[in-house]
Chains A and B, each alone.
Chain A
């Protein structure tokens, strides 16, 4: 069935390095949402992308929706220890909404 692949599953970076997680689908998506879950916490909505090629920024975070609306990325510039957590994509097509496996980010101070 429909799957959303999120890569990498884990990423360990030094504070100040950049970080990117990718969400890929085999079929065209209607929208994609990104959530962040801090350790021991719950997923918190970050942003939603709807348009082909859309790019949105939140401070050091840049979110992108591919031209074909089959993939998306979340890029963090100059990571900080407060960025630690698991980042999930939640992708929608005409039939259902699917969560990615999540990318767990660890940041060394």
Chain B
């Protein structure tokens, strides 16, 4: 079984530019999560999709972040325009169910650096 894959693995862009991150969850997993971890900080929840619907987007920092999951398969997270504080590692995770007891399977993350 293929795991959660994320692309790109690294991205370095200048402040004000746009970046789009992609996540392909494990096949059959309806639940998809985006997280961000800044060095030395906790894993911060951004949002949760169930299929193509946003179940919870309470963690999205502001309207510069846009997440989509058209068709309920892969998801994209676009940052436009990027700011310095957006730097960090963006993880995607998927799970079969969405309940609190479901373990999540993480991708390797996208390391985003804003210059």
Do residues B105 and A45 form an inter-chain contact, with CB atoms below 8 A? yes
Question: What chain B residues lie within 8 Å of A100 (beta carbons)?
Answer: 42
- Asked whether B25 is an interface residue with its Cβ less than 8 Å from the other chain, the reply is no
Q: Does A109 contact B (CB under 8 A)?
A: no
Q: Assess A99 versus B43: contact at CB under 8 Å? Given A41-B108, A42-B91.
A: yes
Task: Point out residues on A near B: beta carbons under 8 Å.
Answer: 30-31, 33, 41-45, 48, 50, 88, 92, 97, 99-102
Decide yes or no: A99 and B45 within 8 Å by CB, A42-B109, A45-B105 being known contacts.
Answer: yes
Q: Knowing A42-B108, A43-B91, say if A48 contacts B42 (CB, 8 Å).
A: no
The residues of B that contact A48 with a CB separation of less than 8 Å are 101, 103
Question: For residues 69 through 115 of chain B, which have their beta carbon under 8 Å from a beta carbon of chain A?
Answer: 91, 93, 100-101, 103-109
What are 24 residue pairs bridging A and B, where the CB atoms are less than 8 Å apart in the complex?
Answer: A30-B100, A31-B101, A33-B103, A41-B108, A42-B91, A42-B106, A42-B107, A42-B109, A43-B43, A43-B91, A43-B104, A43-B106, A44-B106, A45-B105, A50-B101, A88-B43, A92-B101, A97-B45, A99-B42, A99-B43, A99-B44, A100-B42, A101-B42, A102-B42
For A41, list chain B residues within 8 Å (CB).
108
Partner of B103, one of A30, A42, A45, A99: A45
Q: How far is the CB of A54 from chain B (nearest CB, A)?
A: 13
Could you tell me the distance between the alpha carbons of A99 and B41 in the complex, rounded to whole angstroms? 10
Minimal Cβ-Cβ distance residue in A for B104? A45
Q: Smallest distance from the beta carbon of B48 to chain A beta carbons, Å?
A: 10
Q: Which residue of B lies closest to A31 (CB)?
A: B101
For B15-51 the 0/1 string (1 means CB < 8 A from A) is: 0000000000000000000000000011111000000
A50 to B101, CA, bound (A): 8
Give the 9 A-B CB pairs with smallest separation, nearest first.
A92-B100, A45-B103, A42-B106, A99-B43, A101-B42, A43-B106, A99-B42, A42-B108, A31-B101
Pick the residue among B41, B103, B109 that contacts A101 (CB under 8 A).
Answer: B41
State A44–B108 Cα separation when bound (angstroms).
10
